[in-house]
Structure 1
Amino acid sequence: MKFKFTALLWVRRAVLATGVLAVLVFFGVQPLRASARSEGNAFIRIVHASPDVGIVDVFVDGNRLLSSFQFATVTGYVPLPAGSHRIQVALIGTGVNAAVMERTIDTSLDGAYTVAALGTKATGFSINVFTDNNLISGHGTKVRLYHLSPGTGSVRVDVGAKAIISGLAYQQVSDYVAIPAGTYTFQVTVVPQDTTVPFSATLQPWTVTSVFAIGLFNGHPKLELVSAQVAGIPHMPATGSDPRPQPAASYPLAPWLVGLLVALAISAAIALQRLTFVSRRAALLPGK
């Protein structure tokens, strides 16, 4: 009788364990909802690179996104619903109807964009949009230069004796340059004047560093290099360009695994039922 009671207890435990396993596996490998991964968003960051405009307010679709936004400032990425958006820049406190520059931009799902306010009174003001790519391969890093300095002429970037970027003109952006993580001194040379501006930065692993040439080579405010570093996105299929950290991937539940779990649960339940019946019958027999 003691043996049968022990067997009954173990079968009950097996049924409970099978049920718990089925729940854990089912919920642990369900496909990730699209809303949890991207929420239907694109991502933009704003750069104030217009020397003559001064402090501004920035509006998106008529709503204020930034207040008191100063020259030579770069924001982090902010999410926006993917699609078309109206970007407007106005002098501080003057309101959206007094915008001095505006542009409609088109964004795609999980796309990352740099929106730059550019120009001077002499050249005119404008908004430029650059498509970013924050994917990183391996454990390295990459760097990119945005030439946003009016009247400066083309630039070249050297690391040591090697030119990594050359012939970059105003309102252009370089290709991404993949280099090992580490601390570097970049020599940014204004080619027509043969004048070099050194710039030092520590490139952390798994990051993307953007360097913005902002200001005036001949004038005020002076030419300066402003950097922004963001965490990279592992270069794997279907990761997109979302600059935010991504949730851990999950996978659909295989049909054969569902069948196996169901079969185990049914078999354990039948065994429990039979053993319970045998135990009760044995308890009713004389001398038991």
Structure 2
Amino acid sequence: MIGATLLGGGLLLATAPMAVAQDTGSVRVVHGIPGQPVDVYVDGERALDDFEPATVAGPVDLPAGAREVAVFPADAPDASGTPLLEGSADVAAGASATLVAHLDEQGQPALTPFVDDLSTVPAGQARLVVRHTAAAPAVDVLAGGAPLLTGLSNPGEASATAPAGTVSAAVAASGTTDPVIGPADLTLPEGSATFVHAIGSLDEGSLDLVTFTVDGLHGSPSGVPSGAPSGAPYEATPGWAPAAIGVLGAGVLGAAVLLRRRGARS
């Protein structure tokens, strides 16, 4: 096995040897289960050790094909005992995906794959992708106090294209403007895609955000002066797609995750 230390957090991500780059898919893992450090096993080998909540690991290239994933409480000896979550995912060559361990709307552990949209972003713009993976009802995403993305339920995602710059972002219960998360300033670099994951539990007061940004998605021409002046419009991508467990990605990523929830709720 080949190991790589990731994200400065002492996380060890192990992958099998790979033949050629086109036979791999790029995968990130988001830990969204509050208060439960975990070890993540891929194909029976420990890939993430003492993976802390509200953190991201990756990206790492995994060989294309079926991958078996199991999540155990941290330091479980040799993956013995009952996993918190387990499932299988089919990683397609050339895929870019994020696997999120989180709570479903009822507060039970869940494992959900998302396809990462890394398509070109228009010059002077940025893409914002918000994923609802928290134990909470449907929410709206607010930008500058006004709804930007609405009716987002768990597990689902919505995206919008916005002028690059800094926006005051918040999450509120659907149909309201009273934030349950934020508001907080969110920087959207020109030519980037920022992925925001709402995690935790509303009832338990543990709602939080986990975010990562992918740069280098510039449209032509690149380097147009960016910024989001007061009142600048935001263009929401038509429709939002629930990332339900099943086949994802129109040939980009097929992910079939069969969850067998065993053990106590985190």
TM-score range with shorter-chain normalisation?
0.5 to 0.7
Structure 1 residue 116 corresponds to structure 2 residue 100: yes
| Residue 238 of structure 2: aligned partner | none
Q: Hey, which of these two has a bigger chunk of strand by percent?
A: 2
| Residue 90 of structure 2: aligned partner | 106
Contact in 2 for aligned 1:210/1:228 (Cα 8 Å): yes
Residue ranges of structure 2 left out of the alignment (5+ in a row) = 1-18, 221-250, 253-266
- What is the deviation of 1:124? 3.2
Structure 1 residue 86 corresponds to structure 2 residue 68: yes
| Residue 179 of structure 1: aligned partner | 162
| Residue 46 of structure 1: aligned partner | 29
Separation (CA, whole Å) in 1 of partners of 2:54 and 2:216: 23
Q: What do residues 152-183 of structure 1 show as CA deviations (whole Å, max 9, x unaligned)?
A: 21111122364221000121111x21112101
Contact in 1 for aligned 2:190/2:218 (Cα 8 Å): no
| Residue 228 of structure 1: aligned partner | 212
| Residue 194 of structure 2: aligned partner | 209
Contact in 2 for aligned 1:153/1:192 (Cα 8 Å): no
Separation (CA, whole Å) in 2 of partners of 1:205 and 1:173: 21
Amino acid at match of 2:109: F
- What is the deviation of 1:224? 1.5
Amino acid at match of 1:143: L
Which of these two proteins has the greater Rg computed from alpha carbons? Answer: 1
Counterparts of 1:110-189 in structure 2 under 5 Å?
110-119=94-103, 123-139=107-123, 140-150=125-135, 152-160=136-144, 162-174=146-158, 176-189=159-172
Separation (CA, whole Å) in 1 of partners of 2:208 and 2:157: 16
- Over the matched positions of the two proteins, sequence identity in percent amounts to 28
Q: How many residues align?
A: 199
CA RMSD of aligned residues (A): 2.6
Contact in 1 for aligned 2:33/2:53 (Cα 8 Å): yes
Indicate how the Cα distance of structure 1 residues 130 and 212 shifts in structure 2: closer, same or farther if over 3 A, else same: same
Residue ranges of structure 1 left out of the alignment (5+ in a row) = 1-33, 242-288
TM-score where L is the length of structure 1: 0.63
Separation (CA, whole Å) in 1 of partners of 2:143 and 2:177: 16
Amino acid at match of 2:55: T
Amino acid at match of 2:167: Y
- What is the deviation of 1:127? 1.0
Contact in 1 for aligned 2:32/2:133 (Cα 8 Å): yes
Identify the match of residue 174 of structure 2 among 185, 191, 202: 191
| Residue 200 of structure 1: aligned partner | 185
TM-score where L is the length of structure 2: 0.67
Contact in 1 for aligned 2:31/2:52 (Cα 8 Å): yes
- What is the deviation of 1:51? 2.4
Question: Is the partner of 2:56 in helix, strand or coil?
Answer: coil
- What is the deviation of 1:145? 0.7
| Residue 38 of structure 2: aligned partner | 56
> Which segment is superposed worse, 187-196 or 211-220?
187-196
Indicate how the Cα distance of structure 1 residues 167 and 97 shifts in structure 2: closer, same or farther if over 3 A, else same: same
Indicate how the Cα distance of structure 1 residues 153 and 107 shifts in structure 2: closer, same or farther if over 3 A, else same: same
Q: What do residues 34-65 of structure 1 show as CA deviations (whole Å, max 9, x unaligned)?
A: 94xx342101111111226x111011111111
